[in-house]
A and B are shown apart, each in its own frame.
Chain A
């Protein structure tokens, strides 16, 4: 029997890949394999034709120059992304793509960069970079542990819920205790690079949603997450 297969689409891996974003894709790929699925890893870069058959979408952070390159292309595929999100496709967007999945990003000099409004939120250039170890809390996933590094300050609207409540660190804007955003199975966060390695519960949530959507059921295997647990225990004790 052929193994059941899941397609992961990396959104703009060439231009939006700063801070170890590859780690998220790798964790999804390996865990899917360990859960007994085969993985079809695909990329979407500016100008490519958007694939029809997608089970999970992962997008990363970029530098300002990377965001300039992808911005128009992202607007062009906005309809595809809306349709998939509303259809329950799990997505993980970090940092730069978190911002551009929102309504707009307003730069320091008042210039508006339009987003795709998939997430009800807006981002304003902030006076300082919010950088350091961060811990948040979420009922479904427990403590979410990561590292943030962003200057944009994001404010959530009524159409999304925060991904977590900040316990330590700055979060979306340093003011209202919220971190990240959640809409259906779309997870957005400023915790870059290594979000999924140290937060396997979120990885398995994305996998569960993708597999269930495609095959109607998901039976997880037992994965040895002791290193993740120990890495989490160390990370919460490190200075900001």
Chain B
């Protein structure tokens, strides 16, 4: 089949899939099968090349910030906005952007890729820049070991042609630098005062912050210095950089340091710093990453939790006082089938107020977990729709739901019947 036809057909399938309300993967799958070079050929046109962002936690929000930072300096950025971070998602997103001749009107591509798919992706397309965020226990049913995941990130770094931005405070990520040329490596990091807020996977048990001490000898281009309310102060190559943020959660603010470090690698030296600050201050949370809806005149927050470190950080970032809490746990493939991760999260912070509703396919596993942390629960109801209705009727207070990926999708569908919720294509 000739190339323009592939593009046209792919676009047509994408439109049909959208009308049917389907996901982004099907049209991508089509193009991948018929024209495996489609992604490579399309991305090769970009004057500033391809950026890959990977790691366990924070990919979606960080990607959103990087895009905002680059756009603030007038760059045209292509990105896989839908959070479909598999190669097929990239193909599908490209189909939406290219014209009928397959031309992409962008300066640079900033792509969020799941670790395993990133490895596959970089075999065909060498990124010019990569940003590697962290390696935490997650999806071990897919990847087997955390060290396996770290090796995947090392492969991405290896294939990156120009600059690799690494999290200095994550020992498994920082270690990737060993096999790279020094001039290729850039770090973002934390002030020593803040490291206790961001446990890496080795700190999860045993509470020994052994590795991080040495790591701080490495020079980081961007350092998160302090956080007060929603104001963050960074040290960028020695100069202070202060901004307010619409993002909640300390981990999102550390992601801003990652995004800044990457943007500085890409942008020319004389970029407009004020516009950077403004762009960063206006970034809103990615969907399900602490976004706030209004229901019955009260704030209603959705917080996606995917793995123990993410859940721990969410619990410490979103204080329970004044909120009613619901937890929804599913175990579909996208959530992870293995429930053992719930036992690596400590829930004591929820003890004073208790948990109003526990829901989802694995509601009873979650209830069992809370029982052993001696936390009271008002309702345990596996059915998400019933549980949500009960939760909304349960009192006139701000509400917050911690939920796994497919539980969040299901809750959004229910919420869409009551209020405006951003839909995902």
Contacts and interface: CB of A to CB of B under 8 A. Distances in A.
Interface of A: 13-14, 17-23, 26-27, 30, 43, 45, 63-65, 129, 131-133, 147, 149, 151, 192-194, 197-198, 224, 227-228, 230-231, 233-235, 238-239
A149 B142 CA distance: 10
A19 B340 contact: yes
Contacts of A231: 362, 364-365, 367-368
Contact of B343 (A13, A149, A151, A197): A197
Given A231-B368, A234-B361, A192 B337 contact: no
A228 B205 contact: no
B204 A17 contact: yes
Interface string B194-213: 00000000001110100000
A20 B205 contact: no
B371 interface: yes
Interface SS, A side: mixed
A235 B382 CA distance: 13
Interface in B131-181: 137, 140-141, 144-147
Contact of B340 (A64, A194, A224): A194
B367 A227 contact: yes
A129 B205 CA distance: 25
B364 A234 contact: yes
A131 B338 CA distance: 9
B396 interface: no
A196 to B, nearest CB: 10
Given A149-B144, A227-B364, A20 B344 contact: yes
Given A63-B145, A193-B338, A197-B369, A19 B140 contact: yes
Given A63-B145, A131-B141, A227-B364, A238 B205 contact: no
A19 B367 contact: no
Given A14-B206, A132-B337, 16 more contacts: A13-B205, A13-B206, A14-B208, A20-B344, A21-B343, A63-B145, A63-B146, A64-B145, A132-B141, A193-B340, A197-B369, A198-B365, A228-B368, A230-B364, A231-B367, A238-B331
Nearest to A43: B206
A175 B338 CA distance: 23
Contact of A149 (B141, B365, B373): B141
B206 A20 contact: no
Nearest to B339: A194
A235 B329 CA distance: 13
Contacts of B342: 20, 23, 194
B334 to A, nearest CB: 13
B51 interface: no
A65 B202 CA distance: 12
B388 interface: no
Contacts of B141: 131-132, 147, 149
Nearest to B370: A227
Contacts of B204: 17
Q: Which 3 A-B pairs have the closest CB atoms?
A: A193-B340, A23-B343, A20-B343
B382 A234 contact: yes
Interface in B331-366: 331, 337-344, 361-362, 364-365
Interface residues of B, number: 34
A22 B141 CA distance: 18
Interface in B183-232: 204-206, 208
Nearest to A234: B364
B380 to A, nearest CB: 7
Interface in B104-151: 137, 140-141, 144-147
A49 to B, nearest CB: 17
Nearest to A197: B368
A23 to B, nearest CB: 3
B87 to A, nearest CB: 23
Contacts of A230: 364, 367
B2 to A, nearest CB: 42
A238 B147 contact: no
Contacts of A45: 206
Contact of A17 (B145, B206, B364, B380): B206
B344 A22 contact: yes
Contacts of A23: 340, 342-343, 369, 372
Contacts of A133: 337
Contacts of A224: 371
Contact of A151 (B144, B362, B364, B380): B144
A216 B346 CA distance: 35
A65 B175 CA distance: 14
B337 A239 contact: yes
A147 B362 CA distance: 14
Q: A64, A65, A231, A238 — which one has the most chain B CB atoms within 10 A of its CB?
A: A231
A193 B362 CA distance: 16
A86 B172 CA distance: 40
A30 B137 contact: no
A18 B343 CA distance: 10
Of B145, B147, B343, B361, most A-chain CB atoms within 10 Å:
B343
